[in-house]
Amino acid sequence: MSLTAADITDLRTALKLLDQHGELAQTDVEADPVAELCGAYRHIGAGGTVARPTRIGPAMLFNKVKRHPGARVAIGVLSSRKRAALLLGTEPERLGWHLMDALQHLIQPTAIKGIAPCQEAVHRADEPGFDLRRLVPAPTNTPEDAGPYVTMGLLYGKDPENGDEDVTIHRMCLQGPDTLSVWFSPGRHIDVFRAKAEAAGKPLPVSVSIGLDPAIYLGACFEPPMTPIGFNELAIAGALRGRAVEQCACLTVDAKALAWAEYVIEGEILPNVRIAEDAQSGNGKAMPEFPGYCGPSDPQTPVMRVTAVTHRLHPIMQTTIGPSEEHVNLAGIPTEASILGLVERAMPGRVRNVYAASCGGGKFMAVLQFRKATIADEGRQRQAALLAFSAFPELKHVFLVDDDVDPFDMSDVLWAMTTRYQGNFDTVFLPGVRGHVLDPTQSPLYDARIPARGVGCKAIFDCTVPFDQKERFQRAPFMEVDPGKFLI
């Protein structure tokens, strides 16, 4: 039976749809999850800010994984806009608008009826021989990684004071038979929940769901202010699919998990317990992050004590390469939707599209395609850029282009910068603003004048033509011709 995006309920149906469209490659050659698997996919389809040579290629399913009989590993499911659009039933250039629309039509998650597929097999930590590292085939991106990482795990937690729920993706390193370290980027909501529980001297019950419907991952990657604390991002995925995301109760902790996940790790984030993220390697590195560099290890990482691992039969571990195009899309498409949502409310019809560019890892750079309809719109393009920084505070650079420039074609964007921009007139600097701790330039180590890690200078590059000079900047007009009749 031919599938469509409307038929996707989990990772398996998503992979079947990709296979139907020639967007999935499979191999029965055994791959070592320690560096080899990601090293191979770096060439096959990673893209993004990964060190060259790399490319955007098919998603990949490794059917045999060394030391993990019966398990499989999927990687790169969302490593192209074409695939993301296919999986959501839209067009690549409409992805931001599609997610923005979902924000207006939320469908809250619901409890599954009957036994959850994610609990077909159950391994409790109090059973003899329990070892998280044996049960979960988490890869390392490189030989220098601090250890095996869960990179596509959806961490669930709830506010211990009011019961608000949240789901987010974090890097989580397998540190021992029943120990995970969880690195929280500053401001993440579950870290707020963790801090509240810690202040009360209590652990925070959590779950980590791995291997999911791609709509769930994309919905979970929205950030404040579009999704403030107390906002359950699973409602966005529900809107994208037109039906509620199904959850189930965990078996060993007071938390919920995603019912159709391939793997679920249950446990508690312990109060006042920390571990060096690189405890196993001692090399000061964590894993490659979206800017393209190895993220520094955190010497004081919160610890999750694992109480159980559950999974489906013949489970599929889902993973991603930290700086890959997959991260660009996971972070960038919700960023685009957030910017479109805020700017559209402020000045309807002016921003035609937004692209969170690959070179910025989906977080640091956005291209805004702006239409100046009248002379009164002159200057409003820069207001739109300021709103973009408000919609997504981790953004570093905004490029403004006219509506005759393709915002998804960086050569066209740089053409506009080359021919429609003067650095001393058309650059707006916003120094001393909070950005992101993973930008290596936002650090006193880069320049002593920078006051703290994660603080830097944001910039607007206005590559739009002054309204009263539009005639001078008309692109060469070609005859509209159907090329099909000339191609055999």
Stated length of the chain: 488
Q: What pLDDT does 367 receive?
A: 98
In order, the DSSP letters of 425-482 are HHEEEEEEEE--TT-TTSSTTT-TTS-STTEEEEEEEE-PPPGGGGGGGPPP------
Whether the upstream peptide bond of residue 53 has omega within 30° of 0, thus cis, is: yes
d(CA 188, CA 166): 10
Q: Angle at which helices 81-88 and 95-103 pack, to 10 degrees? A: 40
β-strands 285-288, 294-296: how paired? Answer: antiparallel
DSSP H or E stretch at residue 413: helix 410-419
Residues 6 or more apart whose Cβ sits within 8 Å of residue 487: none
**Torsion over CA: 430, 432, 433, 435 (sign):** positive
Closest alpha carbon to 360 in 241, 461, 285, 253? 461
Task: Tell me the β-bridge partners of 308.
Answer: 124, 266
pLDDT, residue 185, reads: 85
Quickly tell me which residue has 């250890």 as its tokens.
147
| CA-CA-CA-CA torsion sign (56, 58, 61, 62) | negative
10 Å Cβ neighbour count for 160?
Answer: 19
* Tokens at 362, concatenated: 């989906």
User: 165 is written with which tokens?
Assistant: 């729920």
> What's the pLDDT score for residue 317?
98
Distance, in Å, from the CA atom of 413 to the CA atom of 367, rounded to the nearest integer, reads 8
Cα 155 to Cα 171: distance, rounded to the nearest angstrom: 10
The CA-CA-CA angle for residues 46, 49, 52, to 5°, reads 70
Q: What is the pLDDT of residue 188?
A: 87
- At residue 413, the pLDDT reads 98
Task: Check if the beta carbon of residue 347 is closer than 8 Å to that of residue 384.
Answer: yes
Helix axes 81-88, 325-346, angle to 10 degrees: 70
Residue among 323, 335, 324 nearest 290 (CA): 323
Pairing of strands 397-402, 455-462: parallel
The catalytic residues are: 289
Express each pLDDT in 116-171 by its tens digit. Answer: 999 999 999 999 999 999 999 999 999 999 999 999 999 999 999 999 999 999 99
Amino acid 107: pLDDT = 98
In order of their start, the domains of the chain are: 107-317 (2.30.110.10), 327-472 (3.40.1670.10)
H/E element holding 175? Answer: strand 171-176
Residues facing 111 on adjacent strands: 247
Please tell me the predicted confidence (pLDDT) of residue 25: 98
Task: Tokens for 12, please give them.
Answer: 């398996």
Cβ neighbours for 72, distance < 8 A, ≥ 6 positions apart: 61, 62, 63, 64, 65, 314, 315, 316, 317
Residue pair 318/77 in contact (Cβ under 8 Å)? The answer is yes
Q: How far is CA 150 from CA 116, 126, 139, 166, in A?
A: 22, 22, 8, 18
Q: Are 306 and 241 in contact (CB under 8 A)?
A: no
The pLDDT tens digits for 202-212 are: 999 999 999 99
Q: How many CA atoms lie within 13 A of 237 on its CB side?
A: 27
CA angle, residues 181, 185, 284, in degrees to nearest 5: 55
Phi-psi region at 349: left, alpha or beta (left = phi > 0; alpha = psi -120 to 50): left
Sites in the chain below the pLDDT cut of 70: 488
10 Å Cβ neighbour count for 69?
A: 8
| Predicted pLDDT at 134 | 97
List all residues 6 or more positions away from 102 whose beta carbon is below 8 Å from its beta carbon: 219, 236, 239, 240, 337
Helix axes 325-346, 380-391, angle to 10 degrees: 130
State residue 69's pLDDT score: 95
For 204, counting Cβ atoms within 10 Å of its Cβ (0-12 exposed, 13-18 middle, 19+ buried), the class is buried
pTM of the full predicted structure? 0.95
SS3 assignment, position 342: helix
Residue 186: its pLDDT value, please? 80
Residue in the block written with tokens 């994610």: 118
